[in-house]
Every structure is written in C-alpha cells, then in structure tokens.
Amino acid sequence: MSERRCPKCGTVYADTARFCPRDGTMLVEEQTKPAPAPAPTPSGGATAVRTPQTHKPGLDRASSLSGHVLDSRYHVERKLGEGGMSYVYLAREVATGHDVAIKVLSPRLATDRSSVERLRREAGLAMRLDHANVCRILRLGESEDGLIYLVMPFLKGELLSDREVRDGPMDLAVGVDILRQVCAGLHHAHELQIVHRDLKPENIMLVPEDGGRDRAVVMDFGLAKERRADPQIAKLTATGIILGTPEFMSPEQIRGKQLDARSDIYALGIVAFEMFTGKLPFQGRNAQEMMIARLRGHPSKLRMLRPDAPEGLEKVLARAMESSPDTRYDTALEFADALSPSGRGFLSKIKEKLK
C-alpha cells in the first residue's frame, strides 16, 4: 500500500491525490513498507550516485551543515535557503578557495529512489548547459554518510522573487531587458532539447554587473526534461504525474501532455506579467482554482493593471500566454525578438542609465 506526502507541510494523503490542497505542492509517493531496491546503473555523462536503501545517520545532519566540512572537499559556511526538496548552502572549496553553492537533498527524499533519480537527471542535463544566462552544475556527489548533493557556482545576487517583494512592480525598461536575457538562456537549453518545466521568479537570479545592469540567470533545472526522453526518464515524468509549480504551469503541463519549448514560453509570460504588475494574470482562491482558470479562461490584460505599459508589450505577453501552444511563439528567441519593438524605447533608456 502506498501513500503520498507533501514535502512542504508533511501531511499524508491517499495515493490518488497529486497536490497538497493546502499549499499546492506536488506530493511525493512513499511506501508504507519500503523494500530494498538495487542501485541504479550509471548512465550518460552524469556522475553515478549510490541510491540509499536505508536511512543513514549522516542524513540527519543535512539541515545543519554550517561550519562543517562536507565530503572532505567543501567547508560549509552558512545556509542560504531550503525547500521541500533540498537545503542550499554557501561553501568554500578547500582545494581552490572558490565559493560554491551546494544543494543537499532533503533526508526525507534522499531514501526515495525517484527523488534520487531526478537529482541525477538534473545534474546530467545541467552539466551540458554552458551559457551566461544559465546556472551550471559543476558536480554531483555523495558523501560517505549518505548525503547526496549538487555543487554549483555561487552567484552573488538576488532572486527575482525577492526583488519583486522588496520593490514592487518593475520598471518597464529593466524588466524587458531581464526577459530578453531569460529568453537567451532558455533558447540555449531548448537547443539542447531541454525544457525547464518549472520557470518562476524563484528560479531566476539577478546578478549585479558593472554599470548597474543585472544579469539574469535561470536557476534550478531540477524538473528539466529532455524532449526526447529515454524510458527511465519517461517513467518518472509519465502522463498524469505533473511536475512543476501550479501558478506558472502551462495548460498542456496541467493536463500532463508532452511538453516542448512553448511551455517554458508560457511560464515566462506569467513571470513577466507578475514582474510588471505584482499580480498573477489568472485569479483563484488557491492553486487548483488558478490551474482551472488557465484551462478555461483568459489572462488579465496587462494595461488594466499597468496603464503606462505600451499596447505592443501587452500584445506580446498575451501571445506568450495563449492557451494553445500552436498560437504562442515557437521559440524563446522569437519571444525575445517580439519584445524588441515594444521595448526599443525602453532599451535606449537602459543604455542611458549605464552611461
């Protein structure tokens, strides 16, 4: 008999449920009587990980690594954040002295084969990415006491979500520039047949550069999926098992359909709308109602909430959020090009700011 648990609040539901009605988080399946499973066979170019079969004492320290040395390689300085799936730390590589960010898999999930396999897949995909607007994965490792972790460059910046909370709706010129950078990073991933699947403000880092301009970096390809998936990946993301954040899912993702680059374009359209207005384009009392609204309704008009936005920008975002993938932009570069005419005046203002 199996049950599903919310990794965020810990509530357990019957195996027919998919999302936690309290917070919209995807539920994680867990067996009431787990049976030992063989370790996955190393494949592709990703580093092999030994799948834990039992709880290891070392997993208990996943949430309290600050001040400790991980795997004799990384001196962990402080915790940067945590979520339902992992803990993120700032660390210093002992051999080089370089600062890195380390994502440690939550002990509640470290013994779950599907969660470990997803982390292996995240590393295998993200190690192929190499673009200024995408965060790379440097290494996937497992400590002797069972901690499974990802090593990434440490980016000194601010999450787009934090910027929105602090400053409210973003300046149009700055926002268009950020959107075009995100499009460039997504296009690089899409060219490698990788779809992000979970694009949201919490997954976009703004890194200050000389002159005051922010470099937008797409983070966390943890739910990324190759368009041409092998059977093992297909089993993990099978139709009906919806992965992603409910507020930003495309209609086809909600329905559990096959995804391509146009699903990320839809999510970026929602990100853009929220960035410029401080509100989501689809309303509902909870995540489920907002998902239904995206299946049956139409997004709010940008200029109703942001009167100073040009009509051209409103039309660009509306097309990105079209319900049917066939009526959206085909590629992220096409989306970026569409932003150029609407944002031409804005971009000139940005250049003036950089002088």
Q: How many CB atoms lie within 10 A of CB 305?
A: 15
CA-CA distance, 266 to 317, in Å (whole number)? 9
One-letter amino acid at 303 equals R
Which of the following is catalytic: 15, 145, 177, 198?
198
Long-range contacts of 294-302 (CB under 8 A, 24+ apart): 294/249, 294/250, 294/251, 294/254, 294/323, 295/251, 295/254, 295/255, 295/323, 298/323, 299/269, 299/270, 299/273, 300/273, 302/273, 302/276, 302/277
One-letter amino acid at 346 equals F
145 is a catalytic site residue: no
Q: Name the nearest CA neighbour of 189 among 253, 125, 267.
A: 125
Q: Say how many CA atoms lie within 13 Å of 276 toward its Cβ.
A: 28
Cite the active site residues: 198
